A and B are shown apart, each in its own frame.
Chain A
Amino acid sequence: MTGTGAAAPRTGWPAISGVVRRLPEYLTIWVPLLLSAAHLVSFSLWTIWISFTPSTLVPVSGWVGLRNYTAVLASRNWKIAFDNLLLFGSAFVLLSLVTGLILAILLDQRIRGENVLRSIFLYPLAVSFVVTGTVWSWLLNPGLGIQKLVHDLGWTSFRFDWLVDRDMAIWTIVIAAIWQSSGFAMALFLAGLRSVDADIIKAAQIDGAGPIRTYWHVILPTLWPITITVVVVQLQFAISAFDLVRALTNGGPGIATQLPALVVYDLMFQRSQLGRGAAAAVLMLLILLAVLLPYAAWRYVQRRRATHA
């Protein structure tokens, strides 16, 4: 019944009287959507335009060709930020998925205090990024936080100084970010786990499958669609993680944890180099498109396949 051809009736362009009658409907549908789309498109176009101008403190017109782009691409800040984004983005998305899944599976075991535990894993979502970054900058500081605590407890050769280590500092951001947002992944996965058909589980149990096999072969595969949603939301978080990084490392030690969002803000507002900042922002968008377009194309192909099936 559903899914064949146009399941819902298409509203075309009916006669004038029809249009007037349905004006409230058109307005309600189109005005918010158009406002949203318009602001996104126009802001993006504006930024692209600025990236080709010699703007510094305020936007000005002019044309400098690709000079802003070459300046950004040649800077150490950008190179480090780009590498960091690839590393941080993939590590964070993957690890927060896994963490959320583990938490969801644990909570799914019908343990006591499930409500309290769910709140404990969800509350970090309510905390602002600045607070998260600041508190974790204390916890992960070797002289103030976890390393000091362990030393005080007696284990003096323990080392956990990633925060001040140029090579490992990016992982501290991963830790803080996972703390902040894995609750969302957990909520989605828990919802998915709870909605798996009970009969399928019983069938697997009757077949003699142990708990791990049941999960791996029966339950987890049904979570695939949810995983996509989680990945999209976490990816968005990774790209825009700005306040958190500023509060946690401020791009340091040195410039080892620079990320594109910080570089854009730094160039645009701290260094008063709007043109270069805009160029960096456009580069950021291109990176995003490089990730999202293949996904969108894949979905498009899937839909076509579904409607032709």
Chain B
Amino acid sequence: MRDRTFAPSRILIYLLVSLFAAAYLAPLAVVVLNSLRTNQEIAQASMIGWPKQWAWSNYLAAWSGFCVAETCAGIRPYMLNSALVTIPATIFSTMLGAIAGYAVSLWRFRGDNWIYGIVTLGLFLPQQMRLLPWTIVLRDTGLINTLTGLVLIHTIQGLSFTTLFCRNYYIAIPHELIRAARIDGAGFFRIFWRIILPLSAPILIVTVIWQFTHIWNEFLYGVTFTTGQQQPVTAALIALSAAIADIPQHGVQSAAVIIAALPTLLIYLLGGRYFVRGLTAGAVK
């Protein structure tokens, strides 16, 4: 590694870093503190404050207690629904994106640039435009109000990101490797399995993290294309806060937000270093 012997006042660096860190942590701190205050206290005092009494019961209520209309099972069933959608969709879109990225970058074929351009442009298509067309597609395939329908939507939409990431990563792989393998008689899948996949760990981790986060936190499709007990966790969170004919239950809501965010937070905490590493090779376009 480099040797940074020249140090413009280390104190300045640490100071700057601390200021930034405090700014970045502030929102998390607010939510965590709120999750330990009672609903009434937040309603009677202010949105931001230190707990007067520690309401650990908020977490219990959030996990298994609070009611969404008739069902009082807390956030637990919705977490399961989210997992049932997010995990398959992440896996499928990552694998398909890896193969597509590999094909577009290392196996040139007719029209590959065009297809790649269209798929990447898809990143920019706003999701509001897609809501009604997806309704029609789901209706015609009989998948409306099923978790399978959501998996389908997120897989196909996720292809834009995953192909982009993987293609930019694979492009850095030297073509001699491929050529040598082809001379040895290996075909498309053999090369993918033996050569590409082992090299892909960093970018696959990046893609998985990215996809998991986006699909887990997604709200619009989750609410429109599911019903009742199938809804994902984002829907349950909104249910907690949207009642205007009542004080929003900010204490329990904050606890629910923390619980619902745990999977993605954990993924970033554990996978953070790979995130940086994984973007290294793919960063050079």
Interface of A toward B, CB cutoff 8 Å = 1-2, 6-12, 22, 24-25, 28-29, 32-37, 39-44, 46-47, 59, 102-103, 106-107, 109-111, 115, 117-132, 134-136, 138-139, 141, 144-145, 148-149, 179, 187-188, 190-192, 194-195, 198, 201, 205, 210-212, 225-226, 228-229, 232, 235-236, 239-240, 242-243, 261, 264-265, 268-269, 274, 277-278, 281, 284-285, 288, 292, 296
How far is A288 from B264 in the complex, measured between Cα atoms in Å?
30
How far is A103 from B23 in the complex, measured between Cα atoms in Å?
13
How far is A179 from B99 in the complex, measured between Cα atoms in Å?
33
Closest to B174 in A: A2
Residue numbers in B under 8 Å from A132 (CB-CB): 27
B106 to chain A, nearest CB (A): 6
Tell me whether A43 and B117 are in contact (CB under 8 A): no
Tell me whether B25 and A135 are in contact (CB under 8 A): no
Residue numbers in B under 8 Å from A141 (CB-CB): 47
6 example contacts (A-B, Cβ-Cβ < 8 A) are as follows A29-B188, A44-B129, A118-B276, A123-B28, A123-B265, A126-B265
Pick the residue among B27, B104, B106, B176 that contacts A1 (CB under 8 A): B176
Asked if B189 CB lies within 8 Å of chain A CBs, one says yes
Interface of B toward A, CB cutoff 8 Å = 1-2, 4, 6-8, 10, 13-14, 16-17, 20-21, 23-28, 30-31, 46-48, 96-97, 99-100, 103-104, 106-110, 115, 117-119, 121-133, 137, 156-157, 159-160, 163, 168, 174-176, 178-179, 182, 187-189, 213, 216-217, 219, 234, 237-238, 241, 257, 261, 264-265, 267-269, 272-273, 275-277, 279-280, 283-285
Pick the residue among B2, B16, B118, B234 that contacts A130 (CB under 8 A): B234
B136 to chain A, nearest CB (A): 8
How far is A32 from B285 in the complex, measured between Cα atoms in Å?
23
Q: A29-B107, A33-B115, A228-B285 are in contact. Are A109 and B4 (CB under 8 A)?
A: yes
Tell me whether A229 and B129 are in contact (CB under 8 A): no
Residue numbers in A under 8 Å from B280 (CB-CB): 191-192, 194-195
Tell me whether A111 and B268 are in contact (CB under 8 A): no
Tell me whether A225 and B285 are in contact (CB under 8 A): yes
B240 to chain A, nearest CB (A): 11
B132 to chain A, nearest CB (A): 7
Residue numbers in B under 8 Å from A41 (CB-CB): 118
Pick the residue among A118, A135, A211 that contacts B6 (CB under 8 A): A211
Pick the residue among B20, B23, B268 that contacts A125 (CB under 8 A): B268
B259 to chain A, nearest CB (A): 12
How far is A115 from B174 in the complex, measured between Cα atoms in Å?
31
How far is A204 from B47 in the complex, measured between Cα atoms in Å?
52
Tell me whether A124 and B124 are in contact (CB under 8 A): no
How far is A195 from B109 in the complex, measured between Cα atoms in Å?
32
Tell me whether B100 and A115 are in contact (CB under 8 A): no
How far is A134 from B47 in the complex, measured between Cα atoms in Å?
11
Closest to B124 in A: A288
Tell me whether A264 and B126 are in contact (CB under 8 A): yes
How far is A194 from B264 in the complex, measured between Cα atoms in Å?
26
Residue numbers in B under 8 Å from A43 (CB-CB): 125, 129-130, 133
Q: A6-B108, A106-B16 are in contact. Are A264 and B213 (CB under 8 A)?
A: no
B63 to chain A, nearest CB (A): 18
A245 to chain B, nearest CB (A): 13
Residue numbers in A under 8 Å from B132 (CB-CB): 46, 59, 268, 274
Residue numbers in A under 8 Å from B272 (CB-CB): 115, 118-119, 122
Tell me whether B276 and A187 are in contact (CB under 8 A): yes
Tell me whether A239 and B126 are in contact (CB under 8 A): yes
How far is A107 from B13 in the complex, measured between Cα atoms in Å?
9
A130 to chain B, nearest CB (A): 6
Closest to B133 in A: A43
Tell me whether A106 and B96 are in contact (CB under 8 A): no
Tell me whether A277 and B100 are in contact (CB under 8 A): no
Pick the residue among A28, A29, A240 that contacts B126 (CB under 8 A): A240
B278 to chain A, nearest CB (A): 8
Tell me whether A131 and B279 are in contact (CB under 8 A): no
Closest to A37 in B: B118
Residue numbers in B under 8 Å from A239 (CB-CB): 124, 126
Residue numbers in A under 8 Å from B168 (CB-CB): 229
Tell me whether B100 and A187 are in contact (CB under 8 A): no
How far is A198 from B2 in the complex, measured between Cα atoms in Å?
6
Closest to A260 in B: B126
Tell me whether B118 and A126 are in contact (CB under 8 A): no
Q: A1-B176, A120-B25, A131-B261 are in contact. Are A264 and B129 (CB under 8 A)?
A: yes
